[in-house]
Chain A
């Protein structure tokens, strides 16, 4: 996460994604994006041979992952996709030969102005192992996918400034009380809101701060001077 935060150009993202792949101990992680002008950018750990093959064969047109994720916003286990056509089955066999893996989990992201990205984790293992992996890591992978996209958007040369990532007054309050060491029940009392609403404020603040958990979010809010304790 820290490496992702420090990344100052697209070339850094390649190192970050390789590191993440190693951390999660899976075969591959890939991030790919397209904007409304059709510009593309990708980084990831697939073999160069596979990438070349994929582009040459224009697999974009038959890849069930692309077909199943394009214009969507829900995360997808590859098992849920339609692999029934002959073209799709051949494609899958070849992908496995090139080491992509027989399992995958893809997260589509819709950015501003028609920007679209896909973040994928893939691996070679049994269904049961993969189910365990995705169950344990789904939440983190979804967060990583969005942080990657935010970072990649920052590097867009003529990007339109994004909607403010400022914390709302209630989010600031929630972060401040947690930073002061109040537990959730105390914060709920002080703010006169329910536990449920507090969770939403924390969740939203955490995402805006690019933090992986609440402690991390509080630390970031403090270091950026967003809250005063």
Chain B
């Protein structure tokens, strides 16, 4: 299932938190060789994790991490603005309607549908919170995965070569893309909505009230 957790809520799911930060270390340090530092406990955490971001996490049936992404509003501090300004040609992206999506991570042996389920969750956020675009930082492999699940970002630019290549891109989400991604995720839109409402509550109006 998809979990939506702010940083200060991660402690309520210790196993999920533990495996997420270890999987991030595995992906970004071990597999991609990015210049990220690991903590003593082996976690990959950077300067943006203490800012209480919103994590969208695919939780496997055994309670461990299957994949995740990290969201921050572009009106505050973001990695895109602080580290990839050159890709934006010296500019900063700032708007309450644009959120940053970074540390898109998939556990080793993650099911192919994991990435699609995460994108579908991104769509819920856009629709329910009035977000129009995500500005993301991701590795080259993710570009192929995004294309496969039918939700390709538009790439603004890249730095580095080979497996160290890092790209900045933009997403928006049309209704058709949403249907497509839901299919790839093997998750109905109703279930996706239910997961969202478990985290953020429901604003559904009871029929009896509106009648």
- Complex-state Cα separation, A73 to B96, whole angstroms: 10
CB-based A-B contact count at 8 angstroms: 105
Tell whether A196 pairs with B172 under 8 Å between CB atoms, given A168-B91, A207-B95: yes
Tell whether A204 pairs with B94 under 8 Å between CB atoms, given A75-B129, A142-B130, A196-B154: yes
Tell whether A194 pairs with B205 under 8 Å between CB atoms, given A127-B210, A200-B135: no
Residues of B within 8 A of A171 (CB): 91
Contact B96 A127 (CB under 8 A): no
Which single residue of chain A is at the shortest CB-CB distance from B72? A73
Q: Which of B8, B96, B210 meets A142, CB within 8 Å?
A: B96
Residues of B within 8 A of A139 (CB): 97, 130
- Complex-state Cα separation, A76 to B130, whole angstroms: 11
Tell me the count of chain B residues lying within 8 A, CB to CB, of chain A.
Answer: 40
Contact A196 B170 (CB under 8 A): yes
Tell me the count of chain A residues lying within 8 A, CB to CB, of chain B.
Answer: 43
Which single residue of chain A is at the shortest CB-CB distance from B88? A168
Contact B54 A74 (CB under 8 A): yes
Q: Which of A3-11, A22-30, A37-45, A78-86 is the interface stretch?
A: A78-86
Chain A's nearest CB lies how many Å from the CB of B164? 25
- Complex-state Cα separation, A200 to B94, whole angstroms: 9
Which single residue of chain A is at the shortest CB-CB distance from B51? A110
Contact A199 B205 (CB under 8 A): no
Q: Which of A74, A112, A163, A204 meets B95, CB within 8 Å?
A: A204
A-B residue pairs, 3 tightest by C-beta? A168-B91, A80-B201, A207-B95
